[in-house]
Amino acid sequence: MRAHGLPTVLAGLFLAVLLTLAAAPSAMARDGDGQAAGGLGDFKAAAPESGVKNNFTKDLAGAVGEALFDIAVEGARDIAGDVAELGIKALGRPLVRLVATGCGAVGGRFAGVPGAVLGYAGCHALGSVAIRKFADMVGDWIEGEEDIQRSRFARRENPFPTGRPTGSSPGSLGGGTIKGDVLISVFAAGPVTTTATGSGAKATTNLGIANAGGTSVTVTTGGPVTTRAEGPGEARTDIGVATGEGARVTVNVDGSVTTIATDRAKASTEIGIGSGENAQAHVAIDGTVTTRAEDRGESRARIGVAAGDRSEVVVTSDGTITTLSSGSGKAVNEIGAAHGDGSSATVTLQGDVTARASGRGRAENAVGVAQDGRINVTVDGDVTAIGRSGAATNDIGVGSSGTTHVGGDITTTADSGRNSMTSIGANGSAFVNGDVINEKGRVSVGGAGACEKSRDGRCCLDIYRNRCVTKIMPKSKYGCPPRFIHAKGRCYFIPDYDHFFDN
Amino acid sequence: MAGRVEAADPPPAPGERTGLSIHRLTPEQRSRPDVARLIGAAIDFRLQGVNAPEALNERFAAAGTAPLALDNVRIGDRSSRLLAWRTFFRGSQAQMGGGLSETPLIGFYNPFVDYWLMTRWRPVADAPPKLISADLFPGAFLRDGKTRRAGRIPAAPEWLSGAAQAVDRGAAIGLRDALQESTALTLATFMARFPEASEHAPRLPDADIAPIMVTGIFSNRLSVLLSDIVDFARTDPLATAYDAVNEALRQDRPEGLADLAAPDRPIGTIDLLAEVPLPLREDLAPIAAYDLGRGWAVFSTPVVTARWPILGLFSAPGGGGARAPVHAVTIHDLYTRILGGA
């Protein structure tokens, strides 16, 4: 069908429908009898309970969204859209979600061949601070690996031919195909700064985000990455996040990563996160990672986390990882965690790890966790969890098998009589050379670990609906992974719980 | 967007590709009183479902019977369930099989959840036919052509996951293409398997699967669909832009769309839309919304039919403006490919 014929055809078909309806002449008249309202009124007024939120579909929508950049390109009036269009022209498909709206230092590369590479990153801020334009990005994406080294953030001419994509069917795009893995490589040697202020301030920095299967994401930061929310809202830094089966994430942090929320806001840092079966997350930190909620907010850092069966996590850190919260907010570090059957976590910490909750919240460190897999944990730095009015927990080396070496000092204290709990090398071998200080609580070395709760002889992280929860993950922006349920604001895995229809 | 429509000829109809044989009612058969009443019942049933599904059994089934189990949508409270059904029916299109038989089948297919509501009817002399059964049936079970289907139902509609997989393989395919292709194939399969002009009562393929799985997956898909629509509807300035588009489309000439578009990206389909009959662009309400990261794709239909959904593309909020720019407004025929581009 050609465009000029569509209205005519529609009119004709509509007429045909009307003629068809002539057999039921009252039908059209009854259209207006009902209560159906046009527009969004129904949905604004009557939001249904969410029921079972199938995150797969959400993720899929994101993936299909990538495939739909014909729409985005067609409608885009910004440089980022044009960047996507270039990728589409060259590859037949865009490779990267346009998660960035541009600011700070951004880099990328594009090889233009099967197994091609297109990458860029950026940051965006929602709040009273004016948002920088997409156009900021254009100077920051460049072609060729050599060029990256030579002129990392130089503006480049459009390396691709002009002209609109052509397709073989309405709405389709260029005929290019891509074979092999999708690779995203981001170099951010310069400073990346995202700041949002005012009520509802939401500052987000994204460096290397992918949402597709078989994706490999590599991110290197050399300069400081700073995300700051100066109002009630959220400060969030995501570096190297890939979802999908076989996702591979490699992150090198040579500079500093700082996430600060100053005013009743949550601070979150996520570095090297992979989800899906056979996911790999490798993270090396030489700089510092600081996550701080300064005023009654929760603070959380997740570094090297993979969700999915047979996933693998490797984290090495010579730097320091510090997470501070205030008010009722928790301070949580999760470093080197592989959630899934047959997974492994290898963690080597030379630097220090600190979680400190200065208000009523808990302070928690989880270092080297593969509850259904093998761990290999070496901690030569100090690991400290300090709660003030809240409890404090250090879990170091939790796996179904493996070895945990602790050479540094482990300190777990809660100032106001709340329990402290230290678990080292649960379910495996544990060797401790340093000092272990645990005030007013339980210490477990090796063995079954210090169970939070137990049921039928099993160690449970929590009890939900009378069932044992064996894994708990934070809820991501895409929701909970498959087979997890959303409960108490987090994602729970309950082995014997058929949650498919229930929630 | 119009350029895209012009870019290529339509693909062959699924019937041609698959060799499916489709026998539709002739105009003469269609005008038979019993068939005409059946068609009328199908239209009324859908409209009732859009407007007030809680009255479907009372209006269409024999007294004291309730073939349609509205609670099969396992979503939230009663009002949520009814909203879910209304959305299902608004996005569904009726198809008849065995129209000349003693127990004709009318399937209501919603491609956005890829499910049929298969209804069975008993003609009544000089009166509207009576609904005797209503069962959910996954689109995939019909498409694969097996007489007995076992196994699980995928969590997401196959056209949606298929599009993603195609993209992973490097194919150039978009959401609209995948939707149109799947819808056309599904309906063509129905037409071929349950010929409209047949005196034999259609028999649904056996499905070796627990009914709770069928209804559960249906609920999941519908729940996700609704949740996304609600997310969209609650997000300003998207919602404001959506309402403005609807208002513009209600006009005889929808030139108001020009003011909603980005200045350097005029909506090129205004002339095209102006020629679309008004009933097809009035009282639009969303039947599916997809968050694409940088924006939203929203399919809407009028009350009267789901055959020609209108697709609106909206920028994601956060651009700093009070109103979300509209990138495109287009109308799509989900069924043309079955009819051979007629």
pLDDT digits (tens, 9 = 90+) for A382-393: 999 999 888 899
CB A87 within 8 A of CB A118: yes
**Would you call B5 and A21 a contact, using CB atoms and an 8 Å cutoff?**
no
Pick B235-331's CATH classification: 3.30.70, 3.10.450, 1.10.10, 1.10.760. 3.10.450
Mean pLDDT of chain A: 61
Closest partner CB to B43 (pick from A24, A171, A173): A24
| A48 interaction partners in chain B (CB closer than 8 Å) | 75-76, 79-81, 83-84, 223, 226-227, 230
Q: What does DSSP say about strands A312-317 and A280-285: parallel, antiparallel, or unpaired?
A: parallel
**Would you call A501 and B212 a contact, using CB atoms and an 8 Å cutoff?**
yes
**Would you call B290 and A65 a contact, using CB atoms and an 8 Å cutoff?**
yes
Residue A214: closest C-alpha in chain B: B168
Classified as helix, coil or strand, A501 is: coil
**Would you call B175 and A131 a contact, using CB atoms and an 8 Å cutoff?**
no
The residue among B292 and B156 whose pLDDT is bigger is B156
pLDDT tens digit sequence for B170-214? 665 567 777 888 888 888 888 888 998 889 999 888 776 767 668
Mutate to test the interface with B, among A40, A172, A500 (most CBs of B within 10 A): A40
Count helices and strands in chain A by DSSP H and E runs: 7, 33
**Dmax of chain B from CA atoms?**
63
Cβ–Cβ contact B29 with A under 8 A: no
Rounded average pLDDT over B159-180 = 68
pLDDT tens digit sequence for B281-309? 888 999 998 876 667 888 999 888 888 88
Count helices and strands in chain B by DSSP H and E runs: 13, 10
- Provide the pLDDT for residue B317: 63
DSSP string, A435-490: -EEE-SEEEEESTT---SEEETTEEESEEETTEEE-EEEE-BTTBPPTT-EEETTE
Q: Residue A455 corresponds to which tokens in the numbers above?
A: 């049921």
| A179 interaction partners in chain B (CB closer than 8 Å) | 170
DSSP code, position A23: T
DSSP string, B119-187: EEEEEETTEEEEEEEEEEEEHHHHHT--SEEESPPPSS-HHHHHHHHHHHTT----HHHHHHHHHHHHH
CB A63 within 8 A of CB A56: no
Rounded to whole angstroms, the Cα distance separating A329 from A362 reads 7
Is the peptide bond preceding residue B53 cis, with omega within 30 degrees of 0?
A: no
**Per-domain residue ranges for chain A?**
78-157+177-308, 314-450
pLDDT tens digit sequence for A119-174? 332 222 222 111 122 222 222 222 222 222 222 222 222 222 222 222 222 111 11
Closest partner CB to A2 (pick from B6, B277, B290): B6
Residue type for A216, please? S
- Provide the pLDDT for residue A37: 46
Q: Which residues 267-306 of chain B have a CB within 8 Å of chain A?
A: 272, 274-277, 279-280, 282-286, 290-295, 297, 302-305
Cβ–Cβ contact A477 with B under 8 A: no
Cβ–Cβ contact B54 with A under 8 A: no
Cβ–Cβ contact A168 with B under 8 A: yes
Express as a percent the part of chain B with pLDDT over 90: 29
Cβ–Cβ contact A129 with B under 8 A: no
Say which residues have a Cβ less than 8 Å from residue A243's Cβ, sequence separation at least 6: A59, A210, A211, A212, A215, A274, A275, A276, A478
- Provide the pLDDT for residue B149: 54
Cβ–Cβ contact B218 with A under 8 A: no
Rounded to whole angstroms, the Cα distance separating B81 from B65 reads 20
Q: Where are the alpha helices (DSSP H) in A121-180?
A: 145-150
Cβ–Cβ contact A154 with B under 8 A: no
Rounded average pLDDT over B69-76 = 79
Phi/psi region, residue A63 (left: phi>0; alpha: psi -120 to 50; beta: rest), is alpha
- Provide the pLDDT for residue A247: 78
| B279 interaction partners in chain A (CB closer than 8 Å) | 14
- Provide the pLDDT for residue A250: 84
For the ranges A83-92, B39-48, B195-204, the lowest mean pLDDT is seen at: A83-92
pLDDT tens digit sequence for B108-140? 999 999 999 999 999 998 899 999 999 999 998
- Provide the pLDDT for residue B111: 94
Classified as helix, coil or strand, A133 is: coil
Provide CATH 3.10.450 ranges for chain B. Answer: 235-331
**Would you call A76 and B341 a contact, using CB atoms and an 8 Å cutoff?**
no
Cβ–Cβ contact A54 with B under 8 A: yes
Mean pLDDT of chain B: 79
Cβ–Cβ contact B28 with A under 8 A: no
Measured between CA atoms, how close is B251 to chain A, in angstroms?
Answer: 14
pLDDT classification of B104: cutoffs 50, 70, 90:
very high
- List C-alpha distances in Å: B202 to B104, B119, B132, B197: 7, 11, 14, 11
Rounded to whole angstroms, the Cα distance separating A57 from A183 reads 23
Number of cross-chain residue pairs from A and B with Cβ atoms under 8 Å apart = 333
Provide ipTM, 2 decimals. 0.71
CB A383 within 8 A of CB A395: no
* Of residues A65, A58, A52, A112, the one with CA closest to residue A498: A52
Closest partner CB to B220 (pick from A1, A35, A54): A54
Measured between CA atoms, how close is B193 to chain A, in angstroms?
Answer: 22
> Exposed, middle or buried, A179 (CB in 10 Å: 0-12/13-18/19+)?
exposed
| B226 interaction partners in chain A (CB closer than 8 Å) | 43, 48
pLDDT classification of A470: cutoffs 50, 70, 90:
confident
Closest partner CB to A126 (pick from B3, B284, B318): B318
Exposure class string for B74-86: b at 16+ Cβ within 10 A, else e? bbbeeebbbbbbb
- Bridge partners of A238, per DSSP, are A206, A270
Asked whether the predicted pLDDT for residue A403 surpasses 60, the reply is: yes
Rounded average pLDDT over A444-460 = 61
CB B171 within 8 A of CB A177: yes
For residue A243, how far is the Cα from the chain centroid? 8
Phi, psi of A5 (to 5 degrees): -90, -10
Measured between CA atoms, how close is A500 to chain B, in angstroms?
Answer: 8
CB B84 within 8 A of CB B226: yes
- Provide the pLDDT for residue A327: 85
DSSP code, position A130: P
CB A59 within 8 A of CB A211: yes
Say which residues have a Cβ less than 8 Å from residue B191's Cβ, sequence separation at least 6: B15, B20, B22, B23, B24, B95, B97, B338
**Would you call B285 and A101 a contact, using CB atoms and an 8 Å cutoff?**
no
| A63 interaction partners in chain B (CB closer than 8 Å) | 164, 167
Rounded to whole angstroms, the Cα distance separating A106 from A82 reads 16
- Bridge partners of B291, per DSSP, are B296
For residue B166, how far is the Cα from the chain centroid? 22
pLDDT tens digit sequence for A339-353? 878 888 899 988 899
Rounded average pLDDT over B21-46 = 85
Planar angle of CA A119, A123, A124, nearest 5 degrees: 135
Measured from the Cβ of residue B263, the count of other Cβ atoms closer than 10 Å reads: 9
Q: Where do we find the tokens 């199938």?
A: A54
Rounded to whole angstroms, the Cα distance separating A367 from B32 reads 75
Q: Where are the alpha helices (DSSP H) in A31-189?
A: 41-45, 55-67, 69-75, 79-91, 145-150
Rounded average pLDDT over A189-197 = 65
Asked whether the predicted pLDDT for residue B103 surpasses 90, the reply is: yes
- Provide the pLDDT for residue A458: 60
Classified as helix, coil or strand, A82 is: helix
Cβ–Cβ contact B262 with A under 8 A: yes
Cβ–Cβ contact B246 with A under 8 A: yes
Closest partner CB to A48 (pick from B40, B84, B243): B84
Cβ–Cβ contact A456 with B under 8 A: no
- Provide the pLDDT for residue B323: 64
The residue among B299 and B261 whose pLDDT is bigger is B299
